[in-house]
Amino acid sequence: MLLGGLQKLTLIDFPGRVAATVFTIGCNFFCPFCYNSELVDAKKIKKHPQIPEEDFFNFLKERQGMLDGVCITGGEPTLQADLPEFIKKIKELRFLVKLDTNGARPEILSDLLEQKLVDYIAMDIKGPLEKYHKFADAADILEKIHQSTQIIRQMPDYEFRTTAVPSLHEKEDFLSIARWLEGAKKYYIQQFKAEKTLDSAYSSIKPYPDEQLVEFCQIAKPYFEICEVRV
Ligand code: SF4
């Protein structure tokens, strides 16, 4: 596994759990607002220090009984060929696992679910399907993204979430997303952070006021069991 970061304690990344978050290197998307650019931009990746897997597992062993789980985020974790083996090793240490994904690799998600390797998945919804070309260039991306949403919806616990970015998202987009994902368990609208973005122009974009996110949330709410704003 290519690991590029470790947050040793989080009370918010894994809902209801005390966890650590590990960051994987590399992504197949190019979201201009991405604030983990050091894990995505090829030039920055070269300069970014890696964490040896052994160090990560030594850390986990020290935290047994103190942490409930591990969040695996990125970058895009499903790009790493040894992700299933990595998760198995985490599970052998009796930690729950949450996976963050952009949903571009449904076949990997399907495999992880079949092997019961993940306890919670959070999938980024970059926008309504018709806007995905702004974030990824794979020809079959729409089909794959939709397939991933279908797979994830079979899980007992999961969430979909969108980072609302001025210039990329408008009010109508949240209705389109809600209609697409209607009946899903949880949908969150997240505040955009204008810091170290992949496209530097986005560092100067002013985030939507929180009240605007609440308005977007009101539009989407009737379509989900839980729909909330994260600021
Ligand atoms: S926001 Fe996520 S999916 Fe988009 S480029 Fe960054 S790591 Fe990749």
| Ligand 1 lined by 29 (C-beta under 6 Å) | yes
What are residue 97's DSSP bridge partners?
A: 70
| Ligand 1 lined by 40 (C-beta under 6 Å) | yes
Q: What is the pLDDT of residue 214?
A: 98
Q: What is the pLDDT of residue 139?
A: 84
Given a cut of 90, whether residue 174 has pLDDT beyond it is: yes
Q: What is the pLDDT of residue 142?
A: 94
pTM given for the model: 0.96
Mutate to test the pocket of ligand 1, among 27, 73, 193 (most ligand atoms within 8 A of CB): 27
Ligand 1 centroid – CA 59 distance (Å): 26
Q: Domain map of the chain by residue range?
A: 3-230
pLDDT tens, 61-85? Answer: 999 999 999 999 999 999 999 999 9
CATH architecture of 3-230: Alpha-Beta Barrel (3.20)
Which tokens go with 219?
A: 């539009």
Given a cut of 90, whether residue 138 has pLDDT beyond it is: no
CA distances 217 to 173, 191, 227, Å, are 11, 12, 7
Query: Which residue's CA is minimally distant from atom 7 of ligand 1?
Result: 75
Percent of the chain exceeding pLDDT 70 equals 100
| Ligand 1 lined by 34 (C-beta under 6 Å) | yes
**Residue closest to 28 by CA, chosen among 196, 145, 186:** 145
Residue owning tokens 């990125």: 74
| Ligand 1 lined by 4 (C-beta under 6 Å) | no
**Residue closest to 100 by CA, chosen among 125, 63, 68:** 125
Ligand 1 centroid – CA 76 distance (Å): 7
Q: What is the pLDDT of residue 195?
A: 87
